[in-house]
Amino acid sequence: MGGCTNLLSDHVKDISVDSSSTSPTVYWVVGSGTNVGKTTIAATLITALNAAGTRTAGFKPFAGGRLQGLIDFMLAHYPGASSGLFGQDGLALTEASPLTDESLVDLVAPVQMLSYPTWRNIVLMRTGSGVLNNVDYLCSAQGAQLRHRPDIKDLIARTGLPFAEAAVKPALEPELGAPATGDKQAQAFRKLCDMGAEAVVCEGAGGWLPVWPDCPAVNHLVYVADGTVTLFPALDRHLPFDPKNVLRNASELHGMLNHPGRQKFSNPLYLVESDRRAAMALQIIQSLLARTGLVESATPSDGQ
């Protein structure tokens, strides 16, 4: 990834069968938790579908990250940037698609939460996307105090994290992500479709499901857990968004996914060195798509 001076300023209960076809085709990539390989698999799926002829974008409706990890990432890849607030996962999905470049990272990940010192303690949040002109920043009372700490103040100056621009709230909880965003995720998703996405790969954060207000049905689902990648084709289910239960765990799907007769295809996800992960993930995804026939079904018709 090259340096960039300003990435963002330029621009189961409740599960019901969805019998109608959806456009675009929606893939979910979910998993048992954080750091199980979801982003690697999701980015590779985006790459593979585009290579097969289906214009595909990534989408992460809720994204989170720890303050220390994001600072390390920013200083390593974007020193001196005035970049707003985005995370490594959203950037990976953005860069995997030819439809989106770095300036659209906040469209691919329209909600980004930043935690310190634990993941539930949100100190800074961005909602919205620059290209849609609907970006807002929220900061907890702790975050407002944190930005004046000498060490943090220096790091904020070097990374451009927008603490000073944020409206201060007494506290920010992960559950606030939905009421604070309104329909910003739906607007971002529609914009990706308007840009020509024929398929969208939606990645869940941690062990959560990628649901948001007005989210479409999921057509195909990839589950990453216990060192295994499993593709469930032709799921065609709709999981309605519930504002009273925003953080829905992927474990809700177990009963449906393990139903007798449910078609599924699995490949082991081996532990390998970082420079070999992309190639391994590509082999896994290509194998799964070929075995299910989804690659052939994703081939564009004549004239496209």
What pLDDT was estimated at residue 245? 79
What pLDDT was estimated at residue 300? 37
CA distance 145 to 85: 18
Q: Tokens 């999921």 belong to which residue?
A: 218
H or E stretch covering 57: strand 56-59
Contact assessment for residue 27 and residue 198, using Cβ atoms and an 8 Å cutoff: no
Using a 10 angstrom Cβ sphere, with 0-12 exposed, 13-18 middle and 19 or more buried, the burial of residue 271 is exposed
For the chain, the distance separating the N- and C-terminal CA atoms, rounded to the nearest angstrom, is 31
State residue 15 phi and psi, 5-degree precision.
Answer: -85, 125
CA distance 137 to 36: 29
Spell out the CATH class of 16-292: alpha beta
CA distance 183 to 179: 9
Taking 70 as the pLDDT cut, the residues of the chain under it are 1-22, 79-83, 174-181, 296-304
Can you spell out the DSSP letters for 76-96? HHSTT----S--HHHHHHHHH
Contact assessment for residue 43 and residue 58, using Cβ atoms and an 8 Å cutoff: yes
Task: Give per-residue pLDDT as tens, 83-115.
Answer: 578 889 999 999 999 999 999 999 999 999 999
Contact assessment for residue 12 and residue 251, using Cβ atoms and an 8 Å cutoff: no
The residue count for the chain: 304
Cα angle for residues 226, 88, 200 (degrees, 5° grid) = 75
Q: What single-letter DSSP state applies at residue 175?
A: G
State residue 28 phi and psi, 5-degree precision.
Answer: -105, 140
